[in-house]
Amino acid sequence: MKELDPLVFLAVFQEMLGPLLWVLLLLIIAGTAAFVVLLLKERTIVSRRLVRSELAGLAGGVLALILMAKVSSSGFTDAGGPADWFLIALVFGLGLAGTTILVYSAAGWRAQRQEAK
C-alpha cells in the first residue's frame, strides 16, 4: 500500500514497547496537561523549581539512554558516526525534557496543595 498513516506508527511502537507504550503515552498526555494548567494558574515560571526540575531531568535523560540501550540490545560504546550522536542526543533530550516537565508539574501542584491548606 502506497501510504503511511499514524496508525502504522502506533502499531509499530506497540509492537516495540508493548504495554509500556500506553504508560508512556498516558504519562506524556497527563504530564503536559498538568504542566499547561499549572502555568495558566500560576501565570509565571518559578525559576528555583525549574532549576531543580532540570537537575532531575539530567537523570531522566540518562535513564532514557539506558532504556534505549536495553530495548535495542546495545552496549554503551556502539556509536560510530554523526547520525548515532544525533540519535543519542535526541533520546537524552527527550528524557531530559520529559522528566523536567513532569517533575516541575508535580512539584508545582504539591506547592499549590500546601498553599491551599
Partner 1 sequence: MSREQEFRHVLKTLETAKLDRRGFLTLGAAGAGTLLLQPRSARAAEKTRTSARIVIAGAGAAGLAAASHLARQLEGAKITLIDARKEHFYQPGFTLVASGIKPQNYVVSSTAEYVPQGVELVPERVAEFDPEGNKVVTESGKSFPYDYLIVATGLKLDYAAIPGMDEAQIGKNGLGSIYHSPAAASATWQAMSAFADQGGVGVFQRPGTEMKCAGAPLKYTFVTDDYLRRRGTRDKSEIIYNSNNKGLFSVPIVSEKVRMLFKDRGVKVNYERTLQSIDLGKRIATFKTTDGTAELQYDFINVIPPMRAPDSVLNSPLPWKSGPWVAEGWMEVSKGNLRHVRFPNVFGVGDIAGVPKGKTAASVKWQVPVAVDHLVADIAGKQSDALYTGYTSCPLITRLGQAMLVEFDYENNLTPSFPGVIAPLEELWISWVMKTMALKPTYISMLRGRA
Among 36, 66, 86, 112, binds partner 1 (CB under 8 A): 86
Which of 20, 55, 74, 112 binds partner 1 (CB under 8 A)? It is: 74
CB 14 within 8 A of CB 21: yes
List of residues 6+ apart from 112 with CB closer than 8 A: 38, 41
Considering beta carbons, is residue 38 or 96 the nearer one to partner 1? 96
Q: Does 22 bind partner 1 (CB under 8 A)?
A: no
**49-to-53, 82, 99 alpha-carbon distances in Å:** 6, 34, 13
- In 3D space, the residue among 6, 38, 23 whose CA is nearest the CA of residue 108 turns out to be 38
* Least spacing, CB of residue 12 vs partner 1, in Å: 4
Residues lying near partner 1 in the complex (CB under 8 A): 1-9, 11-16, 68, 71-75, 77-81, 83-84, 86-87, 90-91, 94
